[in-house]
Structure 1
Amino acid sequence: MVANDIKSNLEIDHARPMKVIVIGAGISGILAAIRFTQRIPNLGLVVYDKNPEVGGTWYENRYPGVACDVPSHVYQASFEPNPNWSQFYSSGNEILQYWKGIVEKYDVRKYMKLNHKIVEARFDDSQSKWHVAVENCSSGEVIHDTCDVLYACIGALNDWKWPDISGLSSFKGKLLHSASWDESWNPEGLSVAVIGSGSSAIQIVPAIQPKTSRIDNYVRGQTWIAPPWAATEVRKHTATGSNFKFTAEELEDFRSNPDSLLAYRKRLETEVQSMTKHLFRGQLAEKAASDFKQHMTKLLEKKPEILNKILPSFSPGCRRITPGPGYLEALTEDNVSFISDNISKITEDGIVTADGTLRKVDAIICATGFDTSFSKRFPIYGSGGLDLGERWKNYPDTYLSLSTHGAPNLFFAHGPSSGIGVGSLTIVLERTCDYVCSVIAKMQKDRIATIQPKKAACDSFRRYCDEFFKKTVFSLPCRSWYKRGTEDGPVTALWPGSSLHFVKVLEKPRFEDYDYIYVGGDDMSWIGNGLTMAESDSSVDMTAYLNPENIDYPRSPSQV
């Protein structure tokens, strides 16, 4: 029997008190703070984040050249269009300032406890609540909090790690990781090794190349460098440069003409959203490969030997595609060496490759990525003490990426199976928040103590994912974080469809796919005491149904 935390004499429309804990104050956490408080009455909310500032990945990643690799106007909230983006691909700091501005505008910082890191989450079946242990990062003190619903907004690329290379700790020079950057470090005149060819390395190399005496870029695998996203719009820009800065005339038009700004964004998103069809195996994927190869060949004309080393045998999209403006051009500069030989070890003064060559450097930058297993952030114990990390060791099973059987009242934003190959991520994050908001509202209205997806629903979703990805380039043999760093493992990080498809799925929860336990064990507790709040509280309008905003006026034939 579940503990009864409401009285049987409450009115049918009485808002049951709900406590929600959000983990993370990145984009998803900010959206949750706005939407939950807007739509859920009688809500207790706290947003914990381990960082001293909001912004998530855009606070943490401060390496040289950090920028969004999708167009600025695609990477923003639908309800907060920004006419002031300075360039086509926004810098990390510009994105951070945008989201900090949203936090201030909607006054949601008051719900946030920064410098507070979740160290454990455990579900208590007897209370139908989550018990969360939180470490104060400043004092080291561990506090304990409880909630009805736990919303994990920790993202996929958050838990960075050093590469597993022998001798890494013995290096006597400057050792940096792209996700834990030392902003005091100056590469001016230094010899630098950059390990990696993912999006971080692709941005770092051109950013520091003009300052360094030498760069050695160690690249283990091949990667596609795409032409700029929404190339039609890029070609319309009169300005030049790797990030395609907007002209003063364009900015003035955006600022003075909201309709023009909206039209521009819709054109951009239409072009970006239309790219999904290239991620299915077949002629379009082959054409994308041909176009990308032509683009890369042109930019590597000065050093054509690099093309054979970096050009993949798999189709674009098997690994994450990045436009990488300026990267290939930087590789052709005289002070840059592209090294595809495997790293054997690191010594106190440099890197040794498998052929025995030692290349001495002043600094090593590890742009080597994150733990994408979704199972090692902090221990999560579900119903009956279920160790979610252990269960997810081989495959992070979910229902629609949002929740999983065995962990009631727990939801994820941008968790397993939620990434998108192309399209708009921010609208997906918004709709994910809307979905979870709808679930919380149902729990409140229907007096639901616990809600979790049925095991059969999770199993069905996994089967759907397995079948879907067989048709796509994602399941081709290539090492990718989409497959937890394996070449041929199951695709666990991506949504099985387009971002528009994801948005449509999230529009309306299929509550028939969930199991419930009701407060007090009574599945009719939602019906209340036979009265409404208006009949018990004189301040509530008893005839609100007559207010014009609550009336659905039909059209007469003369109005058609």
Structure 2
Amino acid sequence: MPGSFHSSANETSSTYNPGEFCIDEYRPIRVVVIGAGFSGITAGIRFPQKIPKVDLTIYEKSAGVGGTWFNNRYPGLACDIPAHCYQLTFEEKRDWSAFYAPGSEIREYLQGIVDKYKLMRYIKLRHEMVQAKYDEPSGKWHLRIRRPNPETGEIEEIEDVADVLVTAFGSLTRWRLPDIEGINDYKGELHHSAGFDPLDKTWQEVADGWSDKKVGVIGVGSSALQLVPALQPRVSKLVNYVRGQTWLAVPFAANTFANLLGRDPGAAEDFTFTEEERERFRTDPEFYKKFRYTLETEINSLHSSTLQGTPMQEMGRELFRKNMEKKLAKKPEILKTLLPDFPVACRRLTPGPGYLEALCEDNVDFVSTPIKRFTEKGIELADGTQHDLDVVFCATGYDTSFQMPFDIIGRNGVKLNDKWNPHPVHYLSVCVEDFPNMFMSLGPNSGVGSGSLLALIEFEILYACQAVAKMQRERLKSMEIKAEAQRDYDQYLENYFPKSVYAAKCRSWYKAGKEEGRIVGLWPGSTLHALKSLEHPRWEDYNYEPLDPVENRMYWLGDGQTYAEKTLTGDRAWYLAEEYIDRPPVPSDSS
């Protein structure tokens, strides 16, 4: 195992030839990113910005950018946190149509960023990673990618080599149909929520063709909570099959939303922005900034609600119970089945606007009897009841085990899937022992129970940028997290979560779809805690190998000059540029 550079006292007087390069005459470095969702798009912006002479390629298996927002197009798809809190820090969008933005607008937002920064020069669509293997002698990643041949369209495999590999494909990408007997016998229209494709239509146009149809929705997770209210007014009959229990939150920051816009907080819920409000966002930057900053502050103030027994947890439990009780007054029997006995936020918490109201409509049935099997015409329940259905949506989630669909092979032939069995082990969600020069965004334990996920994505990508900058600047062949650092972080994970609500007994993707066990989906702390943890990397937690066959650790200092001096080109007073000057505050007379 490589370690830190070393030299003895006897070597200090030996002959040493400094490198024949300037300290900032950086070597070209090749970075390959897997995935073009929020993480990959952020990487496409930050790596060229932060790393000189970077050779960047982003491989995306789908036919478009956006990741889960490109692949998900089911009826009712929308952001389940305020849209103003679901955008990159440096890319404002001032014309969201609604507080909970529809999926189509988020796709447009992402495509707009790709276009603005001209990222398609780096992105290769319909390129699916087949294998990534680390080559120890060269310190490079050897990649195999499956793609359609540009001329013939036939599927072929190509090879690539990278100095650094960045995984940016997230955990909520690999959907699967539920393991229910007879599912292949069903003759009606069957969809997984993540696999629904309206082709050249909108989901509304497709759903409007179901006005005389009987439709089933299996599940009570975030997708089902959006599907049910979207479909209910458009279909003849809707049946929601619910296996478990869940908390329905009051809409996040609803009072703040109303107060900032000058609306009546007690009025009926309407989270669509008026044209006047959108115009104010567009033309009044101070108002927009205050709106966004206030919302972000509020969602970053909820962390204590995720800890067992706190006043905020108990207050949330009472508030949500009363809200569910009120909205299900027409069908109180649903409340008895749906209301959980586990803490608020044990499962992913979502407000699900309109879901409870939809359940109370006359054309909706709420069914908690377990499903026995699919039939040719529909679904048979465990008690023998038969339901004929024309369309069935399985809103049954994703494979969240962090078992990769392709082999990532590290040092000494270690496979990541083997390393992550029975559960993922890693360091700060960004890297793994035995996998040098590999960094992750939205890897294990990257989700957030409250706060801004996109801020965390940005900081994970910036962490990877800092690591690559260090490799390039200091002429490193490899950097790899130390086993003891990974062990200590794993111990932190194990001992943080027992005090949280996530450790309670409830089935959740936070626990890889299990009721009990290891928390693999969430950061062990608040979002702000994650940002502070990632902001300043602990380089002492890594082992390094030098690129050059020189033992002197200071070889990277080169020939004693910078490139601008050597060539008499470029900025030779860069330290006077405004972005470099750290202007200290001047004390006032009263301080």
Task: State the match for 1:254 in structure 2.
Answer: 281
Which of the residues 92, 100, 110 maps onto 2:103? 92
Partner of residue 250 from structure 2, selected from 210, 223, 227: 227
Q: CA deviation at 1:235?
A: 3.3
Are 1:358 and 2:386 matched, yes or no?
A: yes
Question: Which of 219, 232, 236 in structure 2 is aligned with 1:209?
Answer: 232
Residue aligning to 1:146: 161
| Counterparts of residues 12-31 of structure 1 (less than 5 Å) | 12-31=23-42
Gaps of 5+ in 1: none
C-alpha spacing 1:342/1:542, structure 2 compared with 1 (3 Å): same
Equivalent residue in structure 2 for 1:458, among 486, 509, 520 = 486
Residues 89 and 243 of structure 1 are in contact (CA less than 8 Å); yes or no, is this contact kept in structure 2? Answer: no
**1:244 maps to 2:271:** yes
Tell me the residue number matched to 1:75.
Answer: 86
**Cα deviation 1:158-211 (Å, max 9, x = unaligned):** 011111111111101111110011316543211111111111111001101111
Matched to 1:158, the amino acid is: T
* Corresponding position of 1:273: 300
Q: Would you say the 8 A contact 1:318–1:475 is kept in 2?
A: yes
Cα pair 1:51 1:115 within 8 Å, conserved = yes
CA contact (8 A) 1:242 1:326 kept: no
The residue number in structure 2 matching 1:130 is 141
Q: What does the per-residue CA deviation read over 1:113-167, in whole Å, with 9 as the maximum and x for residues that have no partner? A: 0111111111111110111111114531111111111111101100111111111
Quote the Cα distance in structure 2 between the aligned partners of 1:519 and 1:405: 20
In the alignment, which of 295, 303, 306 is matched to residue 323 of structure 2? Answer: 295
Give, in angstroms, the shift of residue 524 of structure 1.
2.9
Mapped pair 1:401 → 2:429: yes
Does 228-237 or 431-440 show the bigger shift? 228-237
- Hey, what does 2:203 align to over in structure 1? none
Q: Distance in 2 between matches of 1:8 and 1:389?
A: 41
Q: Does 1:508 align with 2:531?
A: no
Q: How does 1:329-408 map to 2 (within 5 A)?
A: 329-408=357-436
Is 1:109 the equivalent of 2:124? Answer: no
Q: Offset of 1:553 from its aligned partner?
A: 6.5
In structure 1, the residue corresponding to 2:194 is in which secondary structure?
Answer: coil
Deviation track 1:337-361 (CA, whole Å, cap 9, x = no partner) reads 1111111111111111111211111
Moved more, 184-193 or 273-282: 184-193
Deviation, structure 1 residue 316: 0.8
Is residue 190 from structure 1 mapped to residue 217 from structure 2 by the alignment?
Answer: no
What is the CA–CA distance in structure 2 between the aligned matches of 1:478 and 1:76, rounded to whole Å? 30
Instruction: Choose from 177, 186, 190 the match for 1:175.
Output: 190
1:63-98 Cα shifts (integer Å, max 9, x gaps): 010000000100011111111011100000001101
1:476 aligns with 504
Determine the C-alpha separation between the residues in 1 that align with 2:237 and 2:314: 36
| Mean CA deviation greater in 237-246 or 44-53 | 237-246
- Over 3 Å counting, the alpha-carbon distance change for 1:71 and 1:347 in structure 2 is same
What is the CA-CA distance between 1:216 and the residue it aligns to?
Answer: 1.3
Tell me the amino acid that sits aligned with residue 188 of structure 2. G
8 Å Cα contact 1:115/1:136 also seen in 2: yes
Cα shift at 1:558: 10
Shift of 1:457: 1.2
Cα distance change, pair 160–555 in 1 and its aligned pair in 2 (3 A): closer
Distance 1:548 1:22, change over 3 A: closer
For residue 10 of structure 2, what is the aligned residue in structure 1?
none
Counterpart residue identity of residue 357, structure 1: T
- Do structure 1's residue 66 and structure 2's residue 94 form an aligned pair? no
Secondary structure in 1 matching 2:300: helix
Aligned mates of 2:464, 2:32 — CA distance in 1: 13
Note the C-alpha offset of 1:547. Answer: 6.1
| Contact in 2 for aligned 1:189/1:212 (Cα 8 Å) | yes
Question: Kindly, what percent of the aligned residue pairs are identical?
Answer: 46
Is the 2:56–2:122 contact (alpha carbons within 8 Å) kept by the matching residues of 1? yes
CA deviation profile, 1:338-393 (whole Å, cap 9, x unmatched): 11111111111111111121111111111101000111321110111111112212
Kindly indicate whether residue 543 of structure 2 is the aligned counterpart of residue 528 of structure 1.
no
Structure 1 356/13 Cα, relative in aligned 2: closer, same or farther at 3 Å?
same
* Secondary structure, aligned partner of 1:470: helix
State the SS of the aligned residue for 1:449.
strand
Quick one: distance in 1 between partners of 2:272 and 2:352?
Answer: 15
Q: CA deviation at 1:542?
A: 4.4
| 8 Å CA contact 2:19, 2:557 repeated in 1 | no
Query: Once the two structures are superposed, what CA deviation does each residue of 1:232-251 show, in whole Å capped at 9, x if it has no partner?
Result: 22333549876611122211
539-548 or 269-278: which moved more? 539-548
User: What TM-score, normalized by structure 1, do the two folds share?
Assistant: 0.95
* Cα separation, 2, equivalents of 1:491 and 1:71: 26
Q: Say whether the 8 Å CA contact 1:88–1:243 is kept in structure 2.
A: no
81-90 or 526-535: bigger deviation: 526-535
Alignment-derived partner of residue 53 in structure 2: 42
Q: Corresponding residue for 2:11?
A: none
Equivalent pair of 1:518/1:525 in contact (CA under 8 Å): no
Structure 1, residues 498-557: CA drift from partner, whole Å, max 9, x if none?
111111111111111111111135433312233332342122444545667655677889
Matched-pair contact (CA < 8 Å) for 1:243–1:325 = no
Count of matched residue pairs: 556
8 Å CA contact 2:19, 2:556 repeated in 1: no
1:245-269 deviation per Cα after TM superposition (whole angstroms, max 9, x unaligned): 1122211211111111000111111
Q: Could you tell me which amino acid in structure 2 is paired with residue 92 of structure 1?
A: G
Structure 2 counterpart of 1:439: 467
Partner residue, 2:6: none
Counterparts of 1:542 and 1:423 in 2: how far apart (Å)? 42
For residue 222 of structure 2, what is the aligned residue in structure 1?
199
In structure 2, list runs of 5 or more residues that go unmatched: 3-17, 200-205
8 Å CA contact 1:228–1:234 kept in 2: the answer is no
TM-score (norm 2): 0.90
Q: Distance in 2 between matches of 1:331 and 1:547?
A: 61
Preserved contact between residue 481 and residue 543 of structure 2 (Cα < 8 Å): yes
Deviations 1:281-333 (A, max 9, x none): 01321221111110101110110000011111101110000100011111111
Q: CA RMSD in A?
A: 2.0
Report the Cα distance in structure 2 between the residues aligned to 1:213 and 1:19, rounded to whole angstroms: 56
Contact 1:19–1:147, Cα closer than 8 Å, also in 2: yes
Which sits farther off after the overlay, 375-384 or 493-502?
375-384
**Contact 1:36/1:437 (CA < 8 Å) preserved in 2?**
yes
Q: Counterpart of 1:45 in 2: which secondary structure?
A: strand
Alignment-mate amino acid for residue 155 of structure 2? G
CA contact (8 A) 1:129 1:149 kept: yes
Cα deviation, 1:199-236, whole Å, max 9, x if unaligned, reads: 11110011011111111111111011100001222333
